[in-house]
Amino acid sequence: MLVLDWILIVVAGWLALGFAGIAALRNTAFVARVLFPAGAVLAAALAGLAAAALADTPETAVLALGLPDLPFHLRLDGLSAFFLFVIGATSVGISVFAAGYFRHGEGTPPGLMCLEYHLFLASMAMVVLADDAYAFMVMWETMALSSFFLVTANHRVPAIREAGFLYLLIAHIGAIGILLCFGVLQANTGDYTFANMRAQSLSPLWASAAFLLATLGFGAKAGILPLHVWLPEAHPAAPSPVSALMSAVMLKTAIYGLLRVSFDLLGAQQWWWGVLLLAVGLATALYGVVFSAVQTDMKRLLAYSSIENIGLLFVGIGLGVLFNAYGMKALSALALTAALYHVLAHAFFKSLLFLATGSVLHSTGERSLGKLGGLMRRMPWVAWLSLVGVLASSGLPPFSGFVSEWLLLQSFLFTTGLPDSFLNMLVPVLAAGIALVAALAGYTMVKFFGVIFLGQPREPKLADAHPASPLERAGLVWLAAGCVLLGLFPVAAIGLIDPVTQLLVGGGIAETVRANGWLLLSPSSPERASYSPLVFLLVVSVAVLLAVVLVRKFYHGRLRRAPAWDCGYPAQTARMQDSAEGFGQPIRQIFEPFFRLRRELPSPFDAKPHYRVTIEDHFWHWLYLPVARLTAGIARGVGRLQQGRIAIYLLYSFVTLMVLLLVVKS
């Protein structure tokens, strides 16, 4: 059997698990202890099959599904295999965690949740396998609808329903853009297979139109500016495993779609496409990280952090497009390697952090950073594993986030070789912006971890916080191991990515990297730039061990332990700790134009005076609320046509008939 056949068996297995959940609709123990672990086993099988297929020749298949004369065309190549690996490897940990998390069904019967969850996984796998526009759009809509029902699992809460409908609205705006893009790519041939689209030679105008429609459509799903507003609403509303799956995996299907259209279905690329992606990506990354730094809700903080990381991915893809447009294949491969490495890294560390917030939420019932603190004593497993995700998200060595960001900055260092002097001046400025984003991301992660896990509990009820269940811990350990392994063995990971860049731009960096040995990561030459995570880890470990030995040998017994100095106060309380609002205040002041601030000043007559600052997104008031008011006005105008009187309706018919007669006669 072909690898593609085995992958389809995995997809069918997920669907079978979903329907088994319907058969055991309210049997929480069976769904959680049998079906979700079985889904994790299938996810591991998918990851293994995808890894084996990365370097193989493409495989195709035609499924007799859909409408007459419109079967599903499927294709397994390096690009689809890579994203199948991301889906499988990440969902292993999420599914294991979900087995311990969905104890009470999260507002939806557990069997129905099982169907929606596994249908979501299956549809994402089929999206990256689709080889025609019809199959792609059917699976894309299935993915959107199944994730909508997962987001609105606790549908009795009005705010959750509103978040779900906002997500579905923007998802369908993106779907319209994608559908129009495919319409342009088929070049009026009537053949919507991707093979036919590859064979077309579009004019620069129509190629640019297809690229812009793809950027709009896939950008809406990914969350680029200004189509980002659904992420900070949907992620807090969804159960934490669903938030992890959406942020870590579903957003990557949009990255897959953009890569498929830009590098595979379209022919020659134009340099300004890359500049556009660079500009949009940097704006999205900066906007996301600034808003993330001032959040007081831990899931909204991570949602804005996902927007920042999507911006970085668009920057890497834009740089790859820019290099490829000028025929610089090796540098384009380097930029795409950085972007794809970040796809892997972000999938692991962001799902790890979202799942950690789920454990905290189940244990404490709190999502607000202002009411958390000191949980490292109560939830040590979650705290230490979260620290791995925080360090990876901050881009610190020797974890996965550092490798991808280091490769991206290495790509920027080569832009001085571009033949355009304006671009040679512009791109280093963008590199400085990326460095700022990375610094702010580290700042945000310090706030996230410190406020939740360090210090003293801010609420008395936190003393009753319970540790995560064994299955939750197992899922967190899997994802934390991914963060560590991707950080320590980047050469092996680049070997997985190389077939993808070979397919997209006809070049890769794996051969150059392997020539310098598995211990040293050098994308060009060791004299120019190199990094060895294992050597770094060894040096840090030896330095720490040496420091401990020296302190014990020369200073042991000479230190007097006493309570920490507390500015003269007789007792330290949680009120003396830096709060989430206080931690983010410098960012709020420096980047105040980014925010729409509403200040509520205390009244001198209040029994308990308070000062509150509410941070809102400008785009709500600049774009979305005006559109909503316009739509509501049009709806009210159309509504006046329905008078409920037969004479009025006959008049409408008569006027319409007269207009048509005049038009036909003229």
pLDDT value of residue 607: 58
Do 546 and 632 lie in one domain? The reply is no
Task: Quote the Cα angle for 358-256-484, to 5°.
Answer: 50
Residue 455 lies in a domain: yes
Structure-token match 């779900």, residue found: 164
pLDDT value of residue 211: 95
Answer yes or no: is pLDDT of 87 > 90: yes
Do 529 and 455 lie in one domain? The reply is yes
- Annotate 358-377 with DSSP letters as a single string: HHHHHHHS--BGGG---TTT
Residue 414 lies in a domain: yes
Do 319 and 462 lie in one domain? The reply is yes
Do 450 and 595 lie in one domain? The reply is no
Domain final residue pick, 551, 572, 599: 551
Q: How far apart are CA 346 and CA 343, in angstroms?
A: 5
Average pLDDT value for residue range 233-257: 91
Domain final residue pick, 497, 521, 551: 551
Cα maximum dimension of the chain: 106
Q: Is the peptide bond before 398 cis (omega within 30 degrees of 0)?
A: yes
Average pLDDT value for residue range 625-634: 84
Q: How far apart are CA 476 and CA 94, in angstroms?
A: 8
Task: Tell me the pLDDT tens digit for each residue of 640-661.
Answer: 777 677 878 888 888 888 888 8
Residue 598 lies in a domain: yes
Q: Considering only residues 86 and 556, tell me which one the structure prediction assigns the higher pLDDT.
A: 86
Task: Tell me the pLDDT tens digit for each residue of 307-357.
Answer: 999 999 999 999 999 999 988 888 899 999 999 999 999 999 999 999 999
The percentage of the chain sitting over the pLDDT mark of 90, rounded to a whole number, equals: 41
SS3 of 525, please?
coil
pLDDT value of residue 312: 94
pLDDT value of residue 455: 79
- Annotate 129-181 with DSSP letters as a single string: HB-BHHHHHHHHHHHHHHHHHHHTTTTTSHHHHHHHHHHHHHHHHHHHHHHHH
Domain final residue pick, 492, 523, 551: 551
pLDDT value of residue 501: 92
pLDDT value of residue 343: 95
Task: Tell me the pLDDT tens digit for each residue of 1-37.
Answer: 688 989 999 999 999 999 999 988 888 889 988 999 9
If pLDDT is split at 50, 70 and 90, which confidence band does 566 have?
low
Residue 660 lies in a domain: yes
Do 622 and 546 lie in one domain? The reply is no
Task: Tell me the pLDDT tens digit for each residue of 572-608.
Answer: 676 667 777 777 778 777 887 877 776 666 666 555 6
Cβ atoms < 10 Å from Cβ of 444: 29
Q: Which residues pair with 612 in a beta bridge?
A: 600
Do 521 and 636 lie in one domain? The reply is no
Residue 163 lies in a domain: no
Answer yes or no: is pLDDT of 41 > 90: yes
Residue 627 lies in a domain: yes
Average pLDDT value for residue range 284-304: 91
Indicate the range of 105-114, 126-135, 404-413 predicted with least confidence.
105-114
Task: Tell me the pLDDT tens digit for each residue of 461-504.
Answer: 877 888 888 999 999 999 999 999 999 998 889 989 999 999 99
Residue 43 lies in a domain: no
pLDDT value of residue 568: 60
Indicate the range of 157-171, 274-288, 544-558 predicted with least confidence.
544-558
Residue 604 lies in a domain: yes
Do 402 and 484 lie in one domain? The reply is yes
Structure-token match 């599903």, residue found: 72
pLDDT value of residue 557: 62
Average pLDDT value for residue range 64-89: 89
Answer yes or no: is pLDDT of 548 > 90: no
Helix axes 110-129, 78-101, angle to 10 degrees: 170
Answer yes or no: is pLDDT of 453 > 80: yes
pLDDT value of residue 638: 79
Average pLDDT value for residue range 285-312: 91
pLDDT value of residue 257: 95
Answer yes or no: is pLDDT of 555 > 80: no
Query: What distances in angstroms separate CA 177 from CA 40, 216, 219, one per listed residue?
Result: 34, 6, 10
Contact 163, 233 (CB under 8 A): yes
Do 525 and 470 lie in one domain? The reply is yes
Helix (H) / strand (E) containing 510: helix 510-515
pLDDT value of residue 595: 78
Q: What does the mean pLDDT of the chain come to?
A: 86
Helix (H) / strand (E) containing 614: strand 612-617
Answer yes or no: is pLDDT of 176 > 90: yes
pLDDT value of residue 96: 94
Average pLDDT value for residue range 259-286: 91
pLDDT value of residue 297: 86
* Domain count for the chain: 2
Which range marks the domain in which residue 630 is found? Answer: 591-665
Do 522 and 597 lie in one domain? The reply is no
Chain Cα centroid distance, residue 340:
13
Do 380 and 435 lie in one domain? The reply is yes
Do 310 and 360 lie in one domain? The reply is yes
As separate numbers, helices (DSSP H) first and strands (DSSP E) second, the chain gives: 26, 4
pLDDT value of residue 507: 85
Answer yes or no: is pLDDT of 417 > 90: no
Task: Tell me the pLDDT tens digit for each residue of 118-162.
Answer: 999 999 999 999 999 999 999 999 999 999 999 988 888 888 888
Answer yes or no: is pLDDT of 512 > 70: yes
Do 532 and 608 lie in one domain? The reply is no
Structure letter (DSSP) for residue 193: B
If pLDDT is split at 50, 70 and 90, which confidence band does 666 have?
low
